Amino acid sequence: MSSGRDICIDGRHNIVARQISSWAKIHDDAHIFCLVCQKVIKDQSDFCKIEQHAEGKHHMHQVNTKLNLIQLKLYAPGTSSSADLHLESFFIGHATAEILSDHILKSINNSGLTLNKLLMLSADGPNVNKKVFRLINEKVKEVRNKELIDIGSCNIHVMHNAFRKGLQKVGNECAEFVISVFYFFNDWPARREDYAAIQTKMGITNHNFLKHVPTRWLTIEPAITRILEQFESLKYYVLNYLPKHAAKTTLNSSHYLQMKLFLKKADCKATLQYVKDFSQIFSKFTAFFQREEPLIHLMFDQLKEILMSMFIKICKQEIIIDFSKLDINKIFASENLLDLKNIDLGDTTKELIRNLPEKDQLQFLSKVKDSLITSATYIVYQIPLIQSTLRYLSVLNPRNVKNNNANRYLRKCLEILPYEVDITTVLDEFKLFKLEDLDFSKSSSSFWFEIDIQDSEGNPKYKTLLGVVKNLLTLSHGNASVEQGFSLSGHILP
């Protein structure tokens, strides 16, 4: 349901009605489908989620402005998922919380929606958005006396920041080195030609170096992977070839000095290898949640996996056997940590530091420990997990439907919904639903959207349960769809 082509310049173009019309065209009975869509907008029981995001560097009439995209996420009748609809776009100069919240409220009003049906407000994490949430939440409470659901900031931004903070404990020299390598060769064909000759001589693949973007920290992984591939030829080029053949201006350049300084470190290759392995913990997570399909039901398990992948490297095994019983505030107490020599570095990194003096090995291991603790602590602080909403939402993963705690988790989910729910009816339907002969091994959210079980009279058998589940699955797992909207807007806007 892409709406990139509908991005408006004047900020007043509403496409919700057009999207509803397009849905109607793909159904045989347009009248019934339109009633369903009308129900999505007007019926008290059908809720939606609004996403907002601001991005700079867009130009309009030679005036620097910020683009504010506002999207609607709701259950799309007749499909196997939820849909993201573009409501309005605004170009604004001062993106204060008051101005942003005012535009959000205007877009809701212009679209014929009502605050009474708003489930949550998704934001990417900056402090201004905390105030936006507070202002919108106050307006919502005036209408229905129930707050918006709050499950924290965009998880992808949290992971980028967690990695950045952990990387700082290893040392900024690594990131600065990766950046310098790219820019030393970028737009310098003569340097590339000389280096290519060395690649050929040493039997190393003739590849160029990749760019690491400091504002997107996980871009460091592919950049380091390429450097490790080229490590021997790069080290020879920087430390042996250039001192004999390069001009003084080159040897005095900041990029050369940065490369030279880093490559002379005894643990430089081990540092690169560790940072690569460390970044893979996070990039796997962020890649998973870049998808647009509903994934909120999988977030708890994915967050647990990323935390456990760090815990197992530095914590004693008996401490982390049962995640549900972990005391997050005490897990990194000294008595719960492995000795430095027993920290799990991975075989490659461990081999790379084997010949270092023992003092240097311990110093390296200490940095690794600090990086893992710092990143894990940041994640736990930003996204509390124990007894959290995300834990309860994991019941929507079909694989968890038959777990012993499933009924309790679903009840908790129902209690956070900002509208009245007949909890007894939903739980009764859920208990019967678990007895159905269905394939509960799937984790995809499409499982819920594809269920079409009828009672003896031909009516939907689990109407109340499925209605609640589909509303819960519209909760945001991140801002991937909004950021893709900015990518599309870059091809449209002047």
Rg value, the chain, Cα: 26
Give the pLDDT mean for 366-393.
88
Q: What percentage of the chain carries pLDDT values higher than 70?
A: 75
Beta strand 48-60 pairing with 63-75? antiparallel
For residue 12, give the nearest of 104, 87, 74 by alpha carbon: 87
pLDDT of residue 1: 30
**If you search the block for the tokens 């777990």, which residue do you land on?**
403
Q: Which residues of 164-201 are buried (b: 16+ CB within 10 A; e: fewer)?
A: bbbbebbbeebbbbbbbbbebbeeeeebbebbeebbee
Give the pLDDT mean for 381-402.
85
Q: Over the chain, what is the mean pLDDT?
A: 80
Q: What percentage of the chain carries pLDDT values higher than 90?
A: 45
Q: Residue type for 394, please?
A: S
Give the pLDDT mean for 3-24.
36
**pLDDT higher than threshold 90 for residue 193:** yes
Instruction: Look at the domain 4-151 and name its fold.
Output: Nucleotidyltransferase; domain 5 (3.30.420)
pLDDT digits (tens, 9 = 90+) for 14-38: 444 444 344 334 333 222 111 122 2
For residue 226, give the nearest of 253, 250, 207 by alpha carbon: 207
**pLDDT higher than threshold 70 for residue 46:** no
**pLDDT higher than threshold 80 for residue 50:** no
Give the pLDDT mean for 147-174.
86
Encoded tokens for 392: 């309860």
pLDDT of residue 348: 96
User: Predicted confidence band at 314 (pLDDT cuts at 50, 70, 90)?
Assistant: very high
Encoded tokens for 349: 């990194």
pLDDT of residue 123: 63
Task: Say which residue, 159 or 27, is predicted with more confidence.
Answer: 159
Identify whether the C-beta of residue 188 lies closer than 8 Å to the C-beta of residue 209. Answer: no
Residue 89, φ and ψ in degrees, nearest 5? -125, 135
For residue 367, give the nearest of 271, 452, 282, 461 by alpha carbon: 271
User: Predicted confidence band at 42 (pLDDT cuts at 50, 70, 90)?
Assistant: very low
Give the pLDDT mean for 392-421.
92
First and final C-alpha spacing in the chain: 24
For residue 121, give the nearest of 221, 50, 179, 17 by alpha carbon: 50
- Residues of CATH 3.30.420.40 domain(s) within the chain? 4-151
pLDDT digits (tens, 9 = 90+) for 231-261: 999 999 999 999 999 999 999 999 999 999 9
